Structure 1
């Protein structure tokens, strides 16, 4: 029987896709097959992709379950592919790190929302269709990595820089998920224009350190991904564009938070900063 809840469906499908990494382990365990793996691993991986899609289609046969599962499986396959690249001794190793971080981020957005705030859960919680600008930014980072890999291959071998980027990305992921778990039903991927009956002002835990930890986490994560890839152009671009986006987002969101919570939020603003450099948020003029 297929898992019934969205979080279980997503997790099962993600693990099914991520199991593609076990293919590399299987072949590396046998020296007699190592050459075969080097020559055929892409075709074997493609076969596994087709197989997992058939399994998802059969197991998660309801329309809603399939939509959740196919996205989870896709992200799992990206995660597995990223791990395969990560353990290859090639100049694409760091791109493998990036793919694992990218897939985990999107899958965990859905899974965490499903566990902590199921009432706000939709397919968009995967954030795969976040915005046109987000897709353009992602494509730009892939193009820059590929072009520079051809022209300046040594630039993509700066391991200590990539390791720092990986650590920054993981830190950002931890901060963002901690904020989602702490806020629980008070967290939403979209700015709320109306106060819900159970909407509370969260000021404890990670929210005692900064007012917008979810944005702080995403900001660090986005910058970290470009440091992993050693993409100097996108690093500058991501930093500027992300900072401007969060400045505008925080300004807009705090207008509504002040309307929702009044003096309590004013006092919270006085005690705790936004968490992002040079961003003050919306301030009530006294």
Structure 2
């Protein structure tokens, strides 16, 4: 029964994400009589804003009628992320100086939605609203808002800084590679993966050393590390590039040490051997130190 319920939540999230993504139909319908170069102007105009507001209201009303309680909470979050992804895609293909922010919107929304969807596939027992990682931490929220503020201020004061297309492309590659590595790690680990560090070993918990784990001890953290920095490189945010690098490095250093304490407790000598052969994958982070004496 629990498995069916969680499988249902995954399906609902897909349907809701696609409904939110349907916002792309608004400019596409209008574009049949014109060209993409005016789509952004249309959406930021009065008629465009009204069309989007009506679309959101109708969608939310539909979800409220169809889903109740916990299922609605899943649906509305997935729908919001699909909507954000659709808006980001519209901006990305419009003739505007906000193109790179459109890339960022797509990257953020896809990351958070795919965290939930992949968890629903590999480890439905651990699936919850927290699997979206939208409420990851206060620090995470502050970091995100800070990047938006920096981008806006610098775009208004130093607009040429935000048009370094080659740098934004580097950031896009970092984001795509980081996302691919993280999701590969989650899929490889399967039911062994959990967003929360486990202090007790489950019966099904095994030491995963194949796939991307043959190259990095913590591939999901490596992917997330470079993904997060890549989002700021994409936005050409010099302050946040430095800030994200330092904050992410410190967070993952502490997280890896905490996790490896549990892994050593779970797998003992097997993990020690694995630790000797494979590095963490993150610069200047070796993991928990073992006293050989």
TM-score range, shorter chain: over 0.9
Moved more, 49-58 or 231-240: 49-58
Q: Secondary structure at the match of 1:194?
A: coil
The count of aligned residue pairs is 283
1:13 aligns with 2:16: yes
Equivalent residues in 2 for 1:164-179 (5 A)?
Answer: 164-179=170-185
Runs of 4 or more consecutive aligned structure 1 residues displaced over 4 Å after TM superposition: 32-36
Q: CA deviation at 1:97?
A: 0.5
Q: Secondary structure at the match of 1:5?
A: helix
Aligned pair partner of 1:208 in 199, 204, 214: 214
What residue number does 2:84 align with? 78
Q: CA deviation at 1:42?
A: 2.4
Q: Secondary structure at the match of 2:162?
A: helix
Q: Is the 8 A contact 1:27 1:37 kept in 2?
A: no
Name stretches of at least 5 consecutive residues in structure 2 with no aligned partner: 1-5
Q: CA deviation at 1:37?
A: 3.2
Name stretches of at least 5 consecutive residues in structure 1 with no aligned partner: none
What residue number does 2:124 align with? 118
What residue number does 1:27 align with? 30
Q: CA deviation at 1:143?
A: 0.2
State the distance in 1 between where 2:258 and 2:93 align. Answer: 44
State the distance in 2 between where 1:14 and 1:172 align. Answer: 22
What residue number does 1:163 align with? 169
Q: CA deviation at 1:4?
A: 6.7
1:95 aligns with 2:105: no
| Residues 246-286 of structure 1 deviation map (CA, whole Å, 9 limit, x = unaligned) | 00100111011001000000000011000101100012211
| Residues 105-155 of structure 1 deviation map (CA, whole Å, 9 limit, x = unaligned) | 000000000011001111100000000000000000000000001000111
Equivalent residues in 2 for 1:1-286 (5 A)?
Answer: 5-31=8-34, 37=42, 39=45, 40-60=47-67, 62-286=68-292
What is the TM-score with the length of structure 1 in the denominator? 0.96
What is the root-mean-square deviation of aligned Cα atoms in Å? 1.7
Q: Is the 8 A contact 2:122 2:191 kept in 1?
A: yes
Q: Secondary structure at the match of 1:283?
A: coil
